Amino acid sequence: MPLQLSLFHVLGVVILVLSSALFSNGKSAAPQQSVCASYDHPNPLAQLFPNNATGVLNATLAIIPIPLDMARRLIPLQYGILERAYRTLLPDFPEGMYPVLVQAAHDHDVQFRAYGITIDDFSRVGFEFPFLDLLGDGYSSFRWAPAQLISATNDIALEGSRAYGTIVSPAEYQPLCDAYHALANGATYFKGSSLTSNEFFEVEMAPIRPDINPYPLDLFKNITNQPTFANATTCDNMIRLFNTSMSMGEHAPVPVQGRVKANTFPFRGAAKEWTNIFGVQVATPFIENNYLDCESMQGYAGTGGPGDSHYTTTINTNDDL
């Protein structure tokens, strides 16, 4: 269920949207892209949850295993890594490794219905670091999303992300209006390129049989529903619904395998490429509660299964990094 928002939180979102809209009417360094149509489904939640931000997120979600000692260098030291939480979901995950999430997504039909606010579609991509002990309680899992490439034409999305302390790069995308496009070989392709630096993020994936994918859908449900933060002044609570017609039947999540190539924070130096990466492609409607007090999310059990904050009855904090 969506959280009950205070008037303060609602007004904060509305003010941010209005100020971003005014900003977008001024000069902008980003070239304006032509209007285009998306293949994404319309938002089914706007009427049901008019006082919340709602929309549709069509995404490629993939896991890059990295050494735990590398994760410890990349993630700010004050945030512990809850290894037991992700091993509850992934008992066979390689020892000494940590799961980084790649999220390459297209936000569609985003609305704040009660206030008559509709946000233009945009794309975004970045590395995200789940299962973090933001509050120091040894069990509440949070996800650190420190940097994003976001469509340069959407000032509301750019400023909304920056308000969390995110490092944001205005970017142009291939394709322009969807989560990916099909290649001749049957794979899908998605690329974001910064307009202000040499940063880029490229994802190419091909469908595979479900039994080949080492990561269950429950892992992606859990990670994408963890409260998210950048500099931890506030947290984002995005509730992704995986049980609607949008992700069932012919629209069921598609297991994929492929490669990721990127040059973006927090991986430093030259561009890096990871191959033989596994994940899913799935569209989900979402309900979003913005700019919440992170401590209000302590013990959050909205991830919908094992590995969330309720796994704590057997925790041994000495096992956590």
Taking only the tens place, the pLDDT of each residue in 7-63 is 334 445 554 554 444 334 433 334 444 456 778 899 999 999 999 999 999 999 999
Amino acid at 301: A
pLDDT for res 308: 53
Count other Cβ atoms within 10 Å, centred on residue 125. 27
Mean pLDDT of 253-277: 97
pLDDT for res 269: 86
The 8-class DSSP code of residue 120 comes to -
Count other Cβ atoms within 10 Å, centred on residue 274. 17
Q: Give me the residue spans of the domains in the chain.
A: 7-27+55-319
User: Residue 153 and residue 168: Cα distance in Å, rounded?
Assistant: 13
pLDDT band at residue 304, thresholds of 50, 70 and 90? low
For domain 7-27+55-319, give the CATH number: 2.40.400
Residue 57 to residues 8, 100, 122, 175, Cα–Cα distance (Å):
26, 19, 10, 15
Mean pLDDT of 239-253: 93
Count other Cβ atoms within 10 Å, centred on residue 302. 18
Is the pLDDT at 235 greater than 80? The verdict is: yes
pLDDT for res 170: 99
pLDDT band at residue 319, thresholds of 50, 70 and 90? very low
Q: For 164-195, what is each residue's pLDDT tens digit?
A: 999 999 999 999 989 999 999 999 999 999 99
Burial (CB count within 10 angstroms: exposed 0-12, middle 13-18, buried 19+), residue 6: exposed
User: Residue 130 and residue 227: Cα distance in Å, rounded?
Assistant: 9
pLDDT band at residue 301, thresholds of 50, 70 and 90? confident
User: Residue 254 and residue 226: Cα distance in Å, rounded?
Assistant: 22
